[in-house]
Amino acid sequence: MIIMINGAFDSGKTSSAEALQPLIANSMIYDPEEIGYMLRKLLPESCREERERTDDFQDIELWKILTVKTAKEETIYHRLAKRGDEFGGWQYQQTPKCVEAFKNEQFQIRIDTDYLETSEIIELILKMVLSK
């Protein structure tokens, strides 16, 4: 089983993954971008829909059933500042686009992290995983 945790910068993905990993036997943490690069290399153009024929592996539909962690822009900006990111930097610039993109209906399961602690997020993810 692969649990892909996606979301905007500083929505808590790494914290959640690091807290979740010890709770699931024989689990590991990996960078999903590596899988994306692999898909882009292995999946022939002829097997892709027209809209998937881009340089961005995130356009490939094979991995689009995701649980997305969401947060309001204000929450993300606060978290970016708290971790020491430079105001106006790349992560700040990407935030509105990411927040909007993760509203897309292709992301069927969402966890709003605005008012949740990492432990509460982990509990929600574990319930979903263990119910499968």
Q: How does pLDDT run across 14-23, given as a tens digit for each residue?
A: 888 999 999 9
**Amino acid (1-letter code) at residue 23:** L
Task: Supply the pLDDT for residue 67.
Answer: 66
Model confidence pLDDT, tens digit, residues 23-60: 988 888 888 788 888 888 888 888 887 888 887 777 77
- What band does 64 get if pLDDT is binned at 50, 70 and 90? low
Q: How far apart are CA 75 and CA 56, in angstroms?
A: 27
Q: How far apart are CA 101 and CA 23, in angstroms?
A: 30
Q: What is the pTM of this model?
A: 0.51
SS3 111: strand
